[in-house]
Amino acid sequence: MHLTSRWSITRVGVLAFLSVHVLVVVFPFVWMAYSTLKTNKEFMRSVWSLPATPSLDAFVQAWSTGALGTYSLNSLIVMLGSTALAVVVATAGGYALAIYRPRWLAGIEIGLMIAMAIPAYVALVPLVVMLRAMNLLDTHLGVVLPTAAFNVPVTLFIMRAFFVTLPRDIIEAARIDGCSEFTIFWRIAMPIARPAMFTAAIVNMIWVWNDFLFPLVFINSPAKKTLPVGLADFVGEHITNYPVMLAAIFLAAIAPLILFVFFERQITTALTGGAVKE
């Protein structure tokens, strides 16, 4: 009886803690959603109150005057380009590390973990020098390449965790049938790995869509700005229309939120797959 009571108290405590945590996480998004339905005067009068007369004018103004369509298209180009490049490179690398298991595998993994630990800020100056030398500054390609390079290590770990589970009998049977190593990778391993590649792509797309640093540093032309950088235009030098700014942020957050809600299980499995003991 005593143990049952203690267990019940523990469950209630954990449930209360998680409920408070969910409230703290969800409330800012709810507040942002209903604040977009106010006028700027109403917002300045009371930040927390509900809108007296809900209106979608903030969304119309944000879309029509803020060039959100152009910014979204630029973000889409950078996101698709860097994601495709990172997933292709990481798939080939993950397959090689999982199947061939080189002697220096431990050293490679340590190197990848060091690469993941290096802050992007440290590489900004060298990257600017390199991109200027290649005439890639102020271009989408100049953002795609370094973004993909920084995403390759974690994506490679995701793909390697998948290929480790690939039955070796399939590969050995293909070798006996006379298939080349490239044919085995392209026609056998790649089709099987499509779910893992899709999951890795989702993880990359969410990160790249929200990336602010690289587009801010490498792009100068207003017409080439990505969405996170373009959102800064909604902050005025002296006066800011907060409902319009929040509406723009809300629209920008919709895409990654939808991806995360629908593919949360795949994302969690991908990020924790490397923790499974081989």
In the predicted model, is pLDDT for residue 277 greater than 60? no
The most confident of 70-74, 163-167, 232-236, by mean pLDDT: 70-74
Euclidean distance between CA atoms 219 and 140, whole angstroms: 8
167 pLDDT tier (thresholds 50, 70, 90) = confident
Q: Mean pLDDT throughout 230-258?
A: 82
Question: 77: part of which helix (H) or strand (E)?
Answer: helix 68-100
In the predicted model, is pLDDT for residue 275 greater than 50? no
In the predicted model, is pLDDT for residue 222 greater than 80? yes
pTM for this entry: 0.81
CB-based contacts of 190, cutoff 8 Å, min separation 6: 91, 197
Summarised one tens digit per residue, pLDDT across range 172-218 is 888 888 888 899 999 889 888 888 898 889 889 988 998 999 999 99
Euclidean distance between CA atoms 265 and 274, whole angstroms: 15
Euclidean distance between CA atoms 139 and 136, whole angstroms: 6
Give me 52's structure tokens: 């007296």
What is residue 233's predicted lDDT score, i.e. its pLDDT?
81
CB-based contact 228:74 (threshold 8 Å): no
CB-based contact 116:154 (threshold 8 Å): yes
What is residue 274's predicted lDDT score, i.e. its pLDDT?
45
CB-based contacts of 265, cutoff 8 Å, min separation 6: none
What is residue 237's predicted lDDT score, i.e. its pLDDT?
59
Q: Mean pLDDT, the chain, as a whole number?
A: 85
Q: Mean pLDDT throughout 56-69?
A: 84
Q: Is 217 helix (H, G, I), strand (E, B) or coil?
A: helix
Summarised one tens digit per residue, pLDDT across range 108-127 is 788 888 888 888 888 899 99
Give me 139's structure tokens: 């271009």
What is residue 4's predicted lDDT score, i.e. its pLDDT?
57
- CA 114-120-121 angle, to 5 degrees, is 125
Q: Mean pLDDT throughout 95-104?
A: 84
Q: Is 131 helix (H, G, I), strand (E, B) or coil?
A: helix
Beta strands in 139-201, from DSSP E residues, in sequence order: none
In the predicted model, is pLDDT for residue 85 greater than 50? yes
